[in-house]
Amino acid sequence: EPLPNDQLLEIRGGSRDPLLQGLLARQLIRDPLARRYGITADRLTLLRDAPFRLRLRPRTSGPYQASLELQLIATRGRAPWLPVLAGVSKALREQGLKEGAEPTAAPKPAAKPAPEAETPATPPASAAKDPVPAPAKPSVPAPAAPPVDGATWRREDGVVVGGWRWIPGTGKEAQLLLFLGPVPPSLPPIPPGAAERPPAGEVLLRVRPRALDALGLLPVEMPALVRRADQLATRARPLPGIQGPSQPISRLTGALQVSR
């Protein structure tokens, strides 16, 4: 199906390894991830194996031309991701970003209390006696803090630069939404259908090249025919009989739609 007008690009995949294996093979990339964000080799595996959907949306107002949304399926639940998010949060604070929700309006001043009735200077005799102490109530433990469902990060001038949100998934899994730019609208979880969750090693791309080019977001090396295209769709699949994440060749099919 054609990509809707509220999106510039969408990529779906059964794992992110086909997109990341080239970058993560470089020590120049892996070392800063581990040193600055705490994303070590085992956590990289978590990031590479997660099924995902990535979207780029146009922005008609504000400081950004487009915003980025990366929705990941946490098949093992939230727990393995919490150290990753904690390490990223620590690094963002060190870079001067502030974590917080949308600013709220100042509370209204409380109404003035009504004047109290005058009391007699000398209390009645019945009130002079020591009151009988009430029986002590058993202590009730404070309720556990609710789980953190997301974070929003701002610059010093208050502009939102990104954040993350948990989306309830299906069964034991959870889904994590990472975003760059303003806070996106609430998104539904990625459904379990085969069309929405490609198998591992398969990647689907849909893009509106003409709209991207109008924003100056296409590489200058892109052919003129692609720049003029209204829609571009491609699918990369592993070749039959060849298995493994290091497969060097994929079967690529696609279509290009160009207006006359």
Residue 144 has pLDDT above 50, yes or no: no
pTM of the model as a whole: 0.75
Residue 245's pLDDT band, with cuts at 50, 70 and 90, is: low
User: Among the listed ranges 70-74, 141-145, 213-217, 232-236, which one has the minimum average pLDDT value?
Assistant: 141-145
pLDDT of 129 strictly over 70: no
In the chain, count of helices (H) and strands (E)? 7, 10
Residue indicated by tokens 């080799």:
41
108 by Cβ neighbours in 10 Å (0-12 / 13-18 / 19+) ranks as exposed
Average pLDDT, the chain: 80
For the ranges 16-25, 58-67, 176-185, the lowest mean pLDDT is seen at 16-25
pLDDT category of residue 106 using cuts at 50, 70 and 90: very low
Quick one: which H or E segment has residue 168? strand 160-168
pLDDT for res 250: 77
Q: With 50 as the cut, is the pLDDT of residue 39 above it?
A: yes
Predicted confidence (pLDDT) at residue 94 exceeds the cutoff of 50: yes
pLDDT in tens, 185-241: 888 888 877 667 888 788 999 999 999 999 999 999 999 999 999 999 999 888 877
Q: Provide the pLDDT confidence category of residue 246 given band limits of 50, 70 and 90.
A: low
Strand-pair category, 66-74 with 52-58: antiparallel
Looking at the predicted structure, is the pLDDT value of residue 125 above 60?
A: no
Q: Are 69 and 38 in contact (CB under 8 A)?
A: no
Q: From CA 177, how far away is CA 165, in angstroms rounded?
A: 5
pLDDT at 105: 40
Phi and psi angles of residue 131, each rounded to the nearest 5 degrees, phi first: -70, 150
Most confident of 36-45, 68-77, 144-153: 68-77
Which range among 38-52, 140-154, 164-178, 237-251 shows the weakest confidence by mean pLDDT?
140-154
Secondary structure of residue 159 in the 3-state scheme: coil
pLDDT-based confidence at residue 91 (cuts at 50, 70, 90): very high
Which pLDDT band holds residue 135 (cuts at 50, 70, 90)? low
- The pLDDT assigned to 124 comes to 47
Q: Which amino acid is at 68?
A: L
Q: pLDDT: is 21 or 191 the higher one?
A: 191
> What's residue 43's pLDDT?
82
- Percent residues over pLDDT 90 in the chain: 40
